[in-house]
Amino acid sequence: MIINHPLLGPRDSAEFVYLGDATLIDRPDWQSETALKDFSDYAYLRDNPAGEHRELWFHEGGDRSWLVVTRNTLTHEISKVELARDVARARGRSK
Amino acid sequence: MHDLTPITALGGTAAQVDKVADVTCTEVPEVALTSVAARLGKEAAAAKAIKKLLGAAAPDVGKFADATLNAFWMAPSQWMVEAPFDTHEDLADQAKAAVDSSASVVEQTDAWTRFDLSGGQVLAVMELLCNTDSRRMEVGAAVRTSIHHLGCFVLRRGDQDFSIYAPRASAGSVHHAIVTGMRSAL
């Protein structure tokens, strides 16, 4: 499997480490009234789609960037690769 | 005063040189290193300061710049600066003075060890060592890849010349991998 790194081009997936669902970027607000439930959901609940899935990968054997990879869980086809920091900033995160 | 003898990463008093067929692997101990990472929102100021420090623009993705000081790209807005140890023992201090609060500077001199590979069949060795497409790397390219399961930087300095920066604590393992690769490929 080849992951097309947005900066470095096509790289072997063996250089990467898989973390999980990209919704981990959306960490809940700890000061919220519903923080307990929010964090419980954040930590334990995952969608398990048969099809397109957005997930976090770490380029451990490369430039050590975090990526958001859109992968089809049925075919392993990778349709989109973004830098996780760009995705996080687009969602209003400061870092 | 203690009478201490400086040793290289491989433990010798002089740099180790290994030659198989026409490829030579040379340990290069006399290098000062420091990493410079631009701080969030201060990327432009950092780029300007780094340009002044290096005598050339901060290298683009996957490249190195060879000017007054050499620097290679490590990650977005992050570079490693390398210089001769004899003249730049205080490289990190010089870099910090140049970038001030626009970037974070970390002394890296003893974190890495450098091996230079050169010779007519060097590409055959590089192919065996890492899964980076070394034949397609242009002169001036710098990438981070895995060699022997260790994160290493690979710089192509010439048609037949590569530099490898390996974690110093694993110098012996990487050296073993390189020499084994040379014996298998050549």
Question: Are the CB atoms for B165 and B113 separated by under 8 Å?
Answer: yes
CA–CA separation, A79 vs A88, rounded Å?
A: 19
Class of domain A2-29+36-90: alpha beta
Does CATH place domain B31-109 in 3.30.230.70?
Answer: no
CA–CA separation, B148 vs B135, rounded Å?
A: 19
Among A1, A5, A8, the strongest candidate for a mutation testing the B interface, having the largest count of B CBs within 10 A, is A8
* Residue B61 touches chain A, beta carbons under 8 Å: yes
Write the residue in A8, A15, A65 that is nearest to B62 by C-beta. Answer: A8
Query: For residue range A28-85, what is the model confidence (pLDDT) as tens digits?
Result: 999 999 999 999 999 999 999 999 999 999 999 888 999 999 999 999 999 999 999 9
ipTM over 0.90: no
User: pLDDT band for position A95 (50/70/90)?
Assistant: low
B145 vs A contacts (CB less than 8 Å): 15, 61-62
Please enumerate residues of A whose Cβ is less than 8 A from a Cβ of B. Answer: 7-8, 12, 14-15, 60-65, 83, 85, 94-95
What does the radius of gyration of chain B's CA atoms come to, in whole angstroms? 17
CA–CA separation, B25 vs B97, rounded Å?
A: 35
CA–CA separation, B63 vs B171, rounded Å?
A: 24
Query: How is chain B split into domains, by residue range?
Result: 19-27+111-185, 31-109
CB contact under 8 A, B143 and A8: yes
Question: Are the CB atoms for A14 and A82 separated by under 8 Å?
Answer: no
CA–CA separation, A62 vs B23, rounded Å?
A: 26
Tokens at residue B131, please? 């899964």
Helix axes B122-129, B171-185, angle to 10 degrees: 120
B74 vs A contacts (CB less than 8 Å): 63
CB contact under 8 A, A12 and B131: yes
Query: How is chain A split into domains, by residue range?
Result: 2-29+36-90
Closest A-chain CA to B150: A61
CA–CA separation, B124 vs B185, rounded Å?
A: 6
User: Taking the model in full, what pTM does it have?
Assistant: 0.89
Name the burial class of residue B177, with classes exposed (0-12), middle (13-18) and buried (19+) by CB atoms within 10 angstroms of its CB: buried
CB contact under 8 A, A7 and B62: yes
Per-residue pLDDT tens, chain B, 186 aa: give them.
Answer: 788 888 999 999 999 999 999 999 999 999 999 999 999 899 999 999 999 999 999 999 999 988 778 999 998 899 999 999 999 999 999 999 999 999 999 999 999 999 999 999 999 999 999 988 899 999 999 999 999 999 999 999 999 999 999 999 999 999 999 999 999 998
CA–CA separation, B147 vs B130, rounded Å?
A: 5
Coil/strand/helix, residue A3 = strand
Closest A-chain CA to B73: A63
pLDDT at A92: 82
Question: Are the CB atoms for B32 and B84 separated by under 8 Å?
Answer: yes
CA–CA separation, A25 vs A19, rounded Å?
A: 11
CA–CA separation, B23 vs B33, rounded Å?
A: 26
Coil/strand/helix, residue A4 = strand
Does CATH place domain B19-27+111-185 in 3.30.1360.120?
Answer: yes
